[in-house]
Amino acid sequence: MVGILFWIHAGLAIASAILCVTRRSPVASALWLILTLFSTAVLYVLLDAHFIAALQIMVYSGAIMVLFLFVIMLLNLGDQLADDIKGWGFGRPLAILLAAFVGIELWVVTKVAPDAQLLLPTGAMDEMVSTEGAVGLIARTLYTEYLIPFELTAVLLLAAIAGAVVLAKRRV
């Protein structure tokens, strides 16, 4: 059951990602990207990352994609359908080479497993989620082991807010 759901949503994510890259209208691209983000959220649930899935839908599909659509609307680009997809040009041999590399990497990745000593026992993450809760599990690690990076994130967000205001304002 989990396997079937995984493959359905993996296929959905890849198909909508391709559509996102190839659509001409930026609005259509944004909507297909939202579908990709939603199906990735389903994959997160299947991989026992429930809190991250909720975060994905709220932060990515909710906040960031609304920002994208807002900027498209603000700059009035929704109906500007110039042919902005570049052709192949001289890049075709390079592209085929790189695609072959990625194919080999995919093949290797499915063959190689991480070191068995490092692995948690099967179902361990599921059990931790059911005892500590999906949020508590992350919160404990975040507020103890990763406390300093977490605080630095606050500084980063402040810098981003200030930078965005200064850049986008006509006169500071």
Partner 1 sequence: MLLGPALGVSAILFSIGVLGVLMRRNAIVLFMCIELMLNAVNLSLVALSQQLGVDGQVLVFFVMTVAAAEAAVGFAVIIAIYRHKETVDLQDLNLLRG
- The DSSP line for 57-73 is IIIIIIIIHHHHHHHHH
Q: How far is the CB of 97 from partner 1 (least distance, A)?
A: 13
Which residues, numbered 134-163, are part of the site for partner 1 (CB under 8 A)? 137-138, 141-142, 145-146, 149, 153, 156-157, 159-161, 163
Task: Quote the CA–CA distance of 155 and 77 in Å, as a whole number.
Answer: 33
Task: Quote the CA–CA distance of 65 and 73 in Å, as a whole number.
Answer: 12
Name which position in 1, 4, 79, 84 contacts partner 1 (CB under 8 A). 84
79 near partner 1, judged by CB under 8 A: no
Which residues, numbered 5-24, are part of the site for partner 1 (CB under 8 A)? 6-7, 10, 13-14, 17-18, 20-21
Q: How far is the CB of 121 from partner 1 (least distance, A)?
A: 10
CB-based contact 69:41 (threshold 8 Å)? no
CB-based contact 20:36 (threshold 8 Å)? yes
C-alpha of 148 from chain center:
24
Q: How far is the CB of 125 from partner 1 (least distance, A)?
A: 5
Name which position in 4, 63, 100, 171 contacts partner 1 (CB under 8 A). 63
Provide the 8-state DSSP code for 115. -
Name which position in 99, 127, 130, 151 contacts partner 1 (CB under 8 A). 99
